[in-house]
Amino acid sequence: MIHSAQLSGSRYAEQRKELLELVKQLRAIGAQAEVDLPRIVVIGNQSAGMYRMLTETHRHHQINVPRDSGTCTRCPMECRLTSSTGPRWSCQVSIRWEFDSYMQRKEEVTEVPFGGLILNKQEVELALRRAQAAVLNPHIDAKQLLGMSAEQLQKGIKSDKKPLAFSRNVVCVDLEGPDLTDLAFIDLPGVYISFSWIIQNAEPDIVKLVEDLVVSHIKGNSLILVALPMIDDIENQKALRLAHQEDPQGKRTIGMFFASRSLCSQTPDWTPSNFPRRAHQAGHAQRGHESSQSVARRYRRPPKPPAARVLLMPKISAEASACLDACQRELAKLPEPLDADPATYMLSLITSFTSDIQRYVRGVEGAEALIQQNRAIFAKFEKDIHSTSPQFIPLSREEEQREQSQQSATPAKRSPVSPIDTKPSTEKLNAVGPPFYLEDMTRHIEESVTRELPNNVPYPAKVSLIGEFQKSWPTAADECFTQVREVALRVFIERVNHQFGRWDHLQAQIGYIAELVKDHHERCRVFIDTFLEIERTPYTQNAQHLHKKREGWTGKYKEKRAGKTGKDILPLDNQKFSRALASLTELGYTGLKPEDLARLTKQTDYESEINIMGEVRAYFDVAYKRIIDNIPSVIDLKFLKAVMNDLQPFLIKKMALGTHAGASRCERFLAEDPDVLHNRKDLTQRKDRLEAIKGKLYSFGM
């Protein structure tokens, strides 16, 4: 190739060297695995790529490179040429180890020199053969290969392991001399011509490996040089088909036609390509004496500013930044690696988990789920208990039927009432339990009489009525407690998954929490049964409240009994009510309500029955309010808070913290998932590699 002094010493030449050196450094640290570095790739159906390129870049001093029949190149060979002002020519062969023997990308890419500096061009061929043998036999010491002759290499290397057929690791050739131009290209193994050749001479897996190797290099930001022998049909060129597959429009592809005799005579004869001429610069090339002169005239023109530095490098920098950001985001999704003693870390996990459970049991902001669900359960429990209120009807069955018939004819106006409000002035008389009429009460009293004097109602008659509406309370309490336990377990397991989800073995062991929940469930059941047992014996110290309720309900029943038709015996004239109550207030009777006036009516014929109805109904209100508070309170105290308080010491004991066995158990339980370890390792390596790429680009001036 012809060089002019003007071109070699120009600013363009200096920047060209800088760019090529930058790409060289980026490849040395494995940047090609992350960003699409620019490259020139030489492919063909046989290993003539490096020979043709080196022949053209060494017009005056021939370099011998490996050239055999069939497939000679069995790994990528990266040739990096650098022009120098001094007279000395030199060559340094290196190997870039990017993949292991299983063709998996290595953790760290290394580029190490293979042998010393070569000053004799005739030694290059043997050095390249030795380097390729080292790549194909990674299990053999490189020093052993450096002393082998060409004949020994041709006979094969004695080893227990079979050499690789092909490799993705790269043999790098750094050439420097005064007759060179600044250029870098990658020569790839030749792809097989036809499928019939594959069947006869190669394993399909090997063919696929070579094709994948070629495709991985020619896709993206690459210039594809296809070496094409003129004796073959262009339609049978597998290399050209692969190039067309990755570059359908042919904008990145250049065909290099050569005569087959040149491979033997070493005559660098080039002929015009048959590709259609294209407007872009890389569209067509012709080489001969006349064209060489035109090339020389073109290179004597003042060079333009290097567009690669202006356009390409910012793109690479942006691509590296985007890859680094994506890598850091993926790395942030993974849990932090453990850097503490397993037993100490286990204690911190248990403490954190216990604090988390305390937040839910206390219902602090952001952890309201448990308390909110329990409130709904307790509200249902309150409704279930209220639904057991006795349905006393101060009428006989006959009177009730007559009243219903009259109401059907002329519906009475009734003010709306709440089914939960227990105030006698606003609650409807009938509850949801079975109706209990006056004749039922009379019969109940008669069946309870033993030695009582006339007109004395036996106390057991009242107790049995109270016990009747309490029969379903244990069932309601059990249903309430069971639902609270299920909700608590669900929340606890959810928090276990949140805190310990990354450790499968530990997550299973933390299932001990179900054992703790079961234990406190049984203990709390004793307290609930105790409260229910207490309620079976009628008792209250709140005599004033009981008396007030009894008077209210008795008056209500008497009012209902006196009306008999469903109409209130008291007039609905608010002004008259107000005047009557005002007069009584002047006489010193304060705090009276309209329903209190019902007590002024004359005694009915069922006085004893109505009094029992009022007293039992009043006691229901007292016991109802007591039980709907006591049961939820004991569940909260003796179950939820008890689990919360005992959780940390319970887990510490189960994990045997503080013992030698516990330390080994913690280490085993805290072993990370292999997939997480593998992902973190890969992402960390990528992050380090991308940061190194950014550092190189920054040092370059980006």
Highest mean pLDDT among 201-205, 271-275, 350-354, 410-414: 350-354
Domain count, the chain: 2
Phi, psi torsion values for 83, nearest 5 degrees: -80, 150
Q: Is residue 22 part of a domain?
A: no
Q: For residue range 143-154, what is the model confidence (pLDDT) as tens digits? A: 889 988 888 888
Q: Is residue 189 part of a domain?
A: yes
Residues 278, 397: one domain?
Answer: no
Q: What is the pLDDT of residue 636?
A: 97
Residue 450: pLDDT over 50: yes
Residues 275, 362: one domain?
Answer: no
Confidence band, pLDDT 50/70/90 cuts, at residue 629: very high
Q: Is residue 26 part of a domain?
A: no
Residues 349, 296: one domain?
Answer: no
Rounded to an integer, what distance in angstroms lies between the CA atom of residue 628 and that of residue 617?
Answer: 17
Residues 281, 351: one domain?
Answer: no
Residue 77: pLDDT over 80: yes
Mean pLDDT of the region 519-545: 95
Q: Is residue 103 part of a domain?
A: yes
Element (H, E) at 184: strand 183-187
Q: What is the pLDDT of residue 425?
A: 40
Q: What is the pLDDT of residue 267?
A: 43
Cβ–Cβ under 8 Å, residues 266 and 284: no
Mean pLDDT of the region 429-458: 82
Three-state helix/strand/coil letters over 416-441:
CCCCCCCCCCCCCCCCCCCEECHHHH
Burial state string for 502-530 with b = 16 or more CB within 10 A and e = fewer than 16 = ebeebbebbeebeebbeebbeebbebbee
Residue 380: pLDDT over 80: yes
Q: What is the pLDDT of residue 264?
A: 43
Q: For residue range 315-345, what is the model confidence (pLDDT) as tens digits? A: 788 888 888 898 889 888 888 887 778 888 8
Q: What is the pLDDT of residue 422?
A: 43
Cβ–Cβ under 8 Å, residues 617 and 572: no
Q: What is the pLDDT of residue 367?
A: 92
Q: What is the pLDDT of residue 195?
A: 40
Q: Looking at 70-74, 129-133, 249-253, which range is the least confident one? A: 70-74
Residue 266: pLDDT over 50: no
Q: What is the pLDDT of residue 645?
A: 96
Residue 530: pLDDT over 80: yes
Q: pTM for this one?
A: 0.58
Q: Is residue 112 part of a domain?
A: yes
Residues 194, 79: one domain?
Answer: yes
CATH code, domain with 142? 3.40.50
Q: Is residue 311 part of a domain?
A: no
Using only C-alpha atoms, what is the Rg of the chain?
A: 49
Cβ–Cβ under 8 Å, residues 207 and 64: no
Residues whose CB falls within 8 Å of the CB of residue 245, separated by 6 or more in sequence, listed in order = 215
Q: Is residue 255 part of a domain?
A: yes
Mean pLDDT of the region 166-176: 93
Q: Looking at 307-316, 419-428, 672-681, which range is the least confident one? A: 419-428
Highest mean pLDDT among 20-24, 174-178, 253-257: 174-178
Phi, psi torsion values for 223, nearest 5 degrees: -105, 120
Residues 289, 379: one domain?
Answer: no
Residues 584, 515: one domain?
Answer: yes
Highest mean pLDDT among 45-59, 230-244, 274-288: 230-244
Highest mean pLDDT among 103-112, 637-646, 651-660: 637-646
Question: Per DSSP, which regions of 489-646 are E strands?
Answer: none
Residues 287, 412: one domain?
Answer: no
Residues 286, 387: one domain?
Answer: no
Instruction: Locate 372 and state its tokens.
Output: 């909110």
Closest CA to 557 of 428, 379, 418, 419: 428
Q: Is residue 448 part of a domain?
A: yes
The average confidence (pLDDT) of the chain is 80
Tell me the residue range of the domain where 278 lies: 38-154+171-304
Q: What is the pLDDT of residue 265?
A: 44
Going from the C-alpha of 167 to that of each of 98, 137, 157, 617, the distances in angstroms are 10, 10, 17, 94
Residues 352, 412: one domain?
Answer: yes
Higher pLDDT, 419 or 127: 127
Rounded to an integer, what distance in angstroms lies between the CA atom of residue 524 and that of residue 644?
Answer: 14
Residues 491, 370: one domain?
Answer: yes
Of 246, 274, 304, at which residue does a domain stop? 304
Mean pLDDT of the region 146-169: 86
Residues 300, 355: one domain?
Answer: no
Rounded to an integer, what distance in angstroms lies between the CA atom of residue 339 and that of residue 293?
Answer: 68
Q: What is the pLDDT of residue 285?
A: 44
Higher pLDDT, 308 or 245: 245
